[in-house]
């Protein structure tokens, strides 16, 4: 961390450049000894801004500490687009430099909402500046409005293709480019057919989701057929109960040990975008399927580790919660999971065989917690009639580490 005793100010600037800045912002820029920003942003400054202009190198992040150190005794102003604390450089600078003064400008998202007449509080916002387009999936629901911060000119077409492949080709897509600038422009049409060629890289995509398309609710217990699987899948009803026992909270890290098709880790991450998970799966084929399921269901950031527990658990980041869906009978798996958990950490383990149930019963006797058995039957045709088909009962042990 580099403190700047002379002062570090981040100034948000829009496509309307100098003319759109407040008096506070222009005063900060005029007073600065050095101004850092992209070439595009620096070009927006008039000649009377006399400070030395330094263009960001690419990639920026590795160079940032050195740049801050090099200018630590000078008054530094940093140019950022829109609101610097909204998916912007402001938050990054705050991590690298102690005191940062922030002068925000309306965000591109605020400008888009103003143009569209959308109440911002009812709109989901996603940045695809660095994230994969699949992160859009959990936000796509009939009739919902979404604003996407684009990475470049190709992002709108990626968004439209994802919507169309999900059956939401009837969504209305509006690409708003160079908001606030003299050359502001927009393109609108149905996701399936709108022409999204030749766009400006500075754009946001507004989506009004259509009514068709696959339903993927956010509550745990997605239909089993939402997953690609070879049968190694915690079934919907048991999965819903298991997720309730796991109790994901924003920011928590789950280890899903013996991930199978990945459904537990995937629904853990779908519960909140700040939830993180590592799926540990010994079969490379199944691990590849976990990755495919994670992308298709909107959580491409799921980390997949191909390996066998307990060995594969060594070196993973400390979990808040561990789920063991397979492998409780394997020597050292429960021991390693328990040892990895911090105080207050939670462990949930499922068993379907007598042998694995015996292991859970022994641990329950030793450590307490809750032991639950879930027996599910589904109605299905029996000849011309309907009868119950029982699925294998699942024993769930759930415990908090004291």
Ligand X SMILES: C[S@@+](CC[C@H](N)C(=O)[O-])C[C@H]1O[C@@H](n2cnc3c(N)ncnc32)[C@H](O)[C@@H]1O
What's the rounded Cα separation, in Å, for the pair 61 and 95?
11
Q: How far is the CB of 265 from ligand X (least distance, A)?
A: 29
Token digits of residue 361: 């019963």
Q: Is 239 a residue that touches ligand X (CB under 6 A)? A: no
Q: Based on CB atoms, which residue is closest to ligand X, 149 or 233? A: 149
Would you call 291 helix, strand, or coil by DSSP?
helix
Which of the ranges 115-123, 200-208, 237-245, 302-310 carries the binding residues for ligand X, by CB under 6 A? Answer: 200-208
Q: Please pick, from the candidates 51, 88, 138, 325, the single residue that binds ligand X as defined by CB under 6 A.
A: 88
Distances 378 to 77, 242, 325, 390 between C-alpha atoms, Å: 64, 18, 22, 6
**For ligand X, what does the binding mask look like between residues 126 and 145, x meaning CB under 6 A?**
---x----------------
Q: Is 202 a residue that touches ligand X (CB under 6 A)? A: yes
- Degrees to nearest 5, angle at CA 172 with 167 and 178: 130
What's the rounded Cα separation, in Å, for the pair 283 and 258?
9
**For ligand X, what does the binding mask look like between residues 144 and 183, x meaning CB under 6 A?**
-----xx-------------------------xxxxxx--
Nearest-CB residue to ligand X? 82
Q: Is 81 a residue that touches ligand X (CB under 6 A)? A: yes
101-103 sheet: strands from edge to edge: 52-55, 34-37, 76-81, 8-13, 101-103
Q: Based on CB atoms, which residue is closest to ligand X, 145 or 178? A: 178
Q: Please pick, from the candidates 87, 270, 289, 330, the single residue that binds ligand X as defined by CB under 6 A.
A: 87
CB-count exposure of residue 124 (10 Å: 0-12, 13-18, 19+): middle
Site size for ligand X (CB under 6 A): 24
What's the rounded Cα separation, in Å, for the pair 29 and 397?
60
Token digits of residue 297: 């269901």
Q: Based on CB atoms, which residue is closest to ligand X, 90 or 327? A: 90
Which of the ranges 49-57, 103-111, 217-225, 357-365 carries the binding residues for ligand X, by CB under 6 A? Answer: 103-111
Residues that bind ligand X (CB under 6 A): 14-15, 81-84, 86-88, 107-109, 129, 149-150, 176-181, 202-204
């Amino acid at each position: 961390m580099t403190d700047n005793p002379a002062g570090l100010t981040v100034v948000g600037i829009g496509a309307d450049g100098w003319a759109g800045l407040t008096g506070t912002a222009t005063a900060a820029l005029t007073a600065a000894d050095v101004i850092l920003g992209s070439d595009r942003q620096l070009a927006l400054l008039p000649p009377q801004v006399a400070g030395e202009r330094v263009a960001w190198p690419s990639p920026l992040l590795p160079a940032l500490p050195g740049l801050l150190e090099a200018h630590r005794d000078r008054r530094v102003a940093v140019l950022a687009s829109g609101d610097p604390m909204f998916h912007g450089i402001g938050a990054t600078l705050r991590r690298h430099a102690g005191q940062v003064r922030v002068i925000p400008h309306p965000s591109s998202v605020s400008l888009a909402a103003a143009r569209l007449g959308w109440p911002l509080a009812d709109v989901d916002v996603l940045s695809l500046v660095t994230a994969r387009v699949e992160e859009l999936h959990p936000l796509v629901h009939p009739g919902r409005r979404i604003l996407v911060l684009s990475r470049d000119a190709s992002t709108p077409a990626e968004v439209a293709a994802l919507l169309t492949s999900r059956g939401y080709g009837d969504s209305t897509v509006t690409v708003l480019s160079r908001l606030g600038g003299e050359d502001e422009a927009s393109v609108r049409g149905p996701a399936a057919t709108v022409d999204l060629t030749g766009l400006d890289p500075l754009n946001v995509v507004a989506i009004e989701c259509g009514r068709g398309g696959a339903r993927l609710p956010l509550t745990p217990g997605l239909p089993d057929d939402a997953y690609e699987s070879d049968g190694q899948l915690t079934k919907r009803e048991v999965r819903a109960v298991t997720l309730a026992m796991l109790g994901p909270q924003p920011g928590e890290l789950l280890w899903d040990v013996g991930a199978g098709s990945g459904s537990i880790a995937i629904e853990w991450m779908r519960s909140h975008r700040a939830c993180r998970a590592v799926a540990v799966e010994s079969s490379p084929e199944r691990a590849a399927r976990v990755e495919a399921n994670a992308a298709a269901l909107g959580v491409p950031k799921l980390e997949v580790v191909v390996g066998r527990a307990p060995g594969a658990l060594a070196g993973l980041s400390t979990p808040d919660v561990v789920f063991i869906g397979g492998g409780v009978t394997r020597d050292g798996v429960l021991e390693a999971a328990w040892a990895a958990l911090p105080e207050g950490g939670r462990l949930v383990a499922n068993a379907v065989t007598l042998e694995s149930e015996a292991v859970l019963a022994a641990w329950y006797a030793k450590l307490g917690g809750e032991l639950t058995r879930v027996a599910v039957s589904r109605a299905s045709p029996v000849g011309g009639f309907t009868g119950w088909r029982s699925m294998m009962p699942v024993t769930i042990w759930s415990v908090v580490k004291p």
